[in-house]
Amino acid sequence: MKKFFEKVRNIDVNPEVVVLIVLSILLVIMLSVLVNGLNEQAEFNAWYNSLSAEEKAEYEAPYTTTCDVITVEKYHVDITNRYGAVRGTYSCYEFMYVNQDGDIITVHDFRDDWGNYDVVVGESNTYTVNTRTNTRTLTLTLETMKALADVVTN
């Protein structure tokens, strides 16, 4: 073993070659981890999509919190450039809800165009948070939506 290390120590190695070899090994490891993760996600998606609506609701129940909304307002915000000129607008919701501890929480600037934030029509005014998927849903009744539309347009 001693002779082996003496031979290795005396070899002239180009540092660029060593770097390329190490980077190649790391790339192979990263790709194998990525492929493994994608396979696991595909298996999960196939399993989840095979569930019935009741089974999906049962699976999501530990991750989902639904609270009653007390008040809700809709308003528009101007998008401006650095000189103050208005380039567009977007709609926001501000609402108050009662959380599981009975505290009143206010949410400002809730927009449904952020991807994980949705505003939908439902049977009651509720705010639902799913911590597994990091989605937030503001569910409003049709009457509430009509009242908000009247306020914004008038």
Quick one: pLDDT band at residue 10, thresholds 50, 70, 90?
Answer: low
Q: Does any domain span residue 57?
A: no
pTM: 0.58
First to last CA, the chain: 88
101's CB contacts (< 8 A; 6+ apart) are none
The neighbour count for residue 134, using CB atoms within 10 Å, is 11
126's CB contacts (< 8 A; 6+ apart) are 66, 67, 68, 69, 97, 138, 139
For residue 106, what pLDDT is reported? Answer: 93
Average pLDDT over residues 40-57: 87
Q: Are 31 and 89 in contact (CB under 8 A)?
A: no
**Statement: residue 154 has pLDDT above 50:** no
- What is the residue range of 128's domain? 62-153
Average pLDDT, the chain: 84
* Shared-domain flag, residues 86 and 41: no
**Statement: residue 152 has pLDDT above 70:** no
H helices present in 50-126, as ranges: 53-60
Q: Does any domain span residue 55?
A: no
What is the total count of domains within the chain? 2
* Shared-domain flag, residues 36 and 76: no
**Statement: residue 151 has pLDDT above 70:** no
CA neighbours within 13 Å on the CB side: how many for 15?
Answer: 0
d(CA 93, CA 114): 13
* Shared-domain flag, residues 72 and 138: yes
H or E element: which one contains 128? strand 126-130
For residue 121, what pLDDT is reported? Answer: 92
For residue 133, what pLDDT is reported? Answer: 79
* Shared-domain flag, residues 12 and 74: no
For residue 9, what pLDDT is reported? Answer: 65
**Statement: residue 12 has pLDDT above 80:** no
For residue 34, what pLDDT is reported? Answer: 83
Task: Of 14-28, 59-73, 83-97, 120-134, give the lowest mean pLDDT range.
Answer: 14-28
